[in-house]
Amino acid sequence: MMQRRDFVAAACAAVLCGSSAFALAAPDPKGDPEKWIFDLSNEMLATIRSDEKLKSGDAAAVQAFVSDKVMPSVDFVRMTRMAVGPSWRNASAEQRQELQKLFRELLIRVYSGALSMVSNQSVELAPSRVKPEGDDIVVRTLMKQPGKPDTHLDYRVKLVKGEWRIINVNAEGVWIVENYRSQFAPIAASKGNEGLIEALREKISSYGKK
C-alpha cells in the first residue's frame, strides 16, 4: 500500500536500485570468491528485475535464464551426485545424465515461484565474518530488502579447474543439496537409480496438472 512507502523506504529503494546498477561489475569466476558471489547475485537480481517474462515464471524465459546465467556458475554434476548419494556409483552414464536433467527440472519447478518475489532486494556480504580460506569455502551473504528482515544466504563454492563454482546453497539454515539428498538417497537405496529416475519423472509429469 502506498502509505507504507514512506519517504525513507522510497529513498532507500532508489539508492539500492541505483547503487546495484552502478556497482555492477562483471562477475569474475577466477578472482576473489566473495567478490564473485557478490557480483553474481546482484547481477542475477538485476536480470530478473528487468525481465517481466522471467518474473512471471514464463517457462521458456526461466529455462533460458537457468541455462545462460545459473548453470555456468554452478557445478551441477557435483550437486546432483551429492544429492543422489551412494547409489551414484552404480549409475550408468545415461542414468547420470538423466538424473541431472530431472534434478534440474525439479529445482526449476520448486524455485521459479520465488522469481515473482524479486523486487528491490540487494545482496551484501555478511558482516563480521572470517575471510574464508581454501578452495572449498562458504561465502556468507545477506539479502536485504527495505522494511523486511534480512535473509541469510550462504554459498558453498569450490575451485574447479581454476574457476569458482557454486556447489551448494544454504537459505536460512537449510542446505539445499542435503535436503534433496535426504529425499533421494532412501528412494535410490530401496529402488535403485532407475527407481529414483521413475519417481522424479512421475513427480515432474504431475506439474501443471493441479
Site residues (vs another protein, CB under 8 A): 1-4, 8-9, 63, 67, 71, 76-78, 81-82, 86, 88-89, 93, 96-97, 100-101, 104, 106, 109-111, 113-114, 117, 136, 138, 146-147, 149-150, 152, 156, 160-161, 167-168, 172-175, 177-179, 181-184, 186-187, 189-190, 199-200, 203, 207, 210
Residue with smaller CB distance to another protein, 47 or 145: 145
Kindly give the residue spans of alpha helices, DSSP state H, lying in 29-167: 33-49, 52-55, 59-65, 76-84, 93-111
Task: Give min distance, CB of 54 to another protein, in A.
Answer: 17
CB 155 within 8 A of CB 147: no
Residue with smaller CB distance to another protein, 14 or 71: 71
Task: Give min distance, CB of 36 to another protein, in A.
Answer: 19
Kindly give the residue spans of alpha helices, DSSP state H, lying in the chain: 7-22, 33-49, 52-55, 59-65, 76-84, 93-111, 176-205
Using CB atoms within 10 A of its CB, is residue 4 exposed (0-12), middle (13-18) or buried (19+)?
exposed
d(CA 13, CA 122): 10
Task: Give min distance, CB of 4 to another protein, in A.
Answer: 5
CB 27 within 8 A of CB 139: no
Residue with smaller CB distance to another protein, 25 or 203: 203
Task: Give min distance, CB of 24 to another protein, in A.
Answer: 26
Residue with smaller CB distance to another protein, 24 or 157: 157
Task: Give min distance, CB of 148 to another protein, in A.
Answer: 9
d(CA 6, CA 20): 21
Strand partners, 158: 136, 165
